[in-house]
Amino acid sequence: MRRWLPLAMLLPVSLTAQEREGGAAASVGNVPVEVLNLVVAIRSYQPGRMLPQIGAGIVLGLDDRSVYIATARHVVEGADRIWVASASARGDSASARVVATPEEGTLDLAVIALDRSDFPAEFQPVLDRLGEPGRLSTGDPVNPVGCPDEVCWSAPALPDRVLASSSIDVLFQSDFVKRGSSGGALFDRWWELVGLVTTSDPPRAGAIPIDYVVQRAEAWGIPVSIRRPSIPRAGYRTSFGAAILFPTTSSSDRFPSSRFDLTYMLRYPLSIHAGYMRLAPGQLTGCPLKTGPNAPTDTLLLVREPCEMVMNSVVIGVGVNLVVKRLTLRLLGDAGFGLIQGRYDRAGVFFETPELEYVPNFKSTEQRTTFVGGVGLVADFTVLPRIILNARGSYWAYDSDPFVGEDLFPDVFRKTLDVPHLFFGFGLKLGL
């Protein structure tokens, strides 16, 4: 049977006033609706005390009968009455009970449970919000959500910042965390759970990493339902991709230009990558008419003298990323070394076919080492878990000419040869 408690007894006067002025949205303004029901308000009473302990909790799991909530142990320790309210029905609260606490008494963590039937039908937490506290770095933005100064389900106007992070503790700068924040959630920039707030020492606060909370809860036999999303909102940390490239001012070689990359996200927004690239533009304009004893005499051959360039290189670089839901835009810079070689037609032959067919006779130039540098813009769109479509445009510069030293090619040729530097391409990536 549902138990009722007046809102004025469960939530503070300040929150009630906000709701009178502007409705429920007034108290949640900067917190996404998707995460609101992951955080609950807690008010606990100890025997013989009139004033309650104020705090918050994080929904860990649900089964057919119960809702399981992680909170700071000091919020519920010794309490004989615990009341819980959700953001979806703030005028309604339910009685909870402590079901697990650490035996050693040093970890500020407890799990409480309440009957699922005591929560309103509107209570439908989004459970794929488990973040990765191991990816937190100094300076990263985080958002604590609890009941600071008894104002629930709000976040700081500007995100707090991580000071230090380990496998058992997250320390962050905060003037927002106050009395009532204990047991609340710590979210990263993607509004995924990374911690459970436990301490406040302005201008600092502390939290237990959510991975450690989940680990301990599972060890206590608590059914944990929160999970990581199938497609990370921060993008995949590591990805391997392959792309076909197309030059903008010529056709491709018989084996088209291509690129293979391994990309690793250092910390948002910076990434590093390394890869192999083959640039092979063909049908380059500006090839000269051949002269000398081996020059063809047939005028049809004189206009069929294609030049091609092939460059195989290894490159490394850095990227600056912008993640917008499933789309990642990456501005990258590359540098590396490669081997460059040219080929040109030194008079092929005609075959008598229904349509006269000309087959070029290519001669390869001497292979040379070249420096490679480039910039580009890459767009990745995640269509399925681990499957990423890729589109790119890049500009490349090389410091070597594949046709230097060819007696048949005068200097004026190398000034008119249209070697493309701009390429666009499409490919596929695997998120790891």
Q: How far apart are CA 93 and CA 95, in angstroms?
A: 7
Q: How many CA atoms lie within 13 A of 170 on its CB side?
A: 35
- Checking if the pLDDT of 372 tops 80, the result is yes
pLDDT cut 70: percent of the chain above it:
84
Position 286 scores a pLDDT of: 64
Query: 88-121 pLDDT, tens per residue?
Result: 876 678 899 999 999 877 899 999 999 988 877 7
Structural domains in the chain, sorted by start:
1-229 (2.40.10.120), 238-431 (2.40.160.70)
* pLDDT score of 199 more than 70: yes
> Model-level pTM?
0.82
Higher pLDDT, 3 or 394: 394
pLDDT at 354: 76
Name the burial class of residue 344, with classes exposed (0-12), middle (13-18) and buried (19+) by CB atoms within 10 angstroms of its CB. buried
Is the pLDDT score of 266 beyond 50?
yes
Does the pLDDT value for residue 24 go beyond 50? no
**The pLDDT of residue 408 is above 90:** no
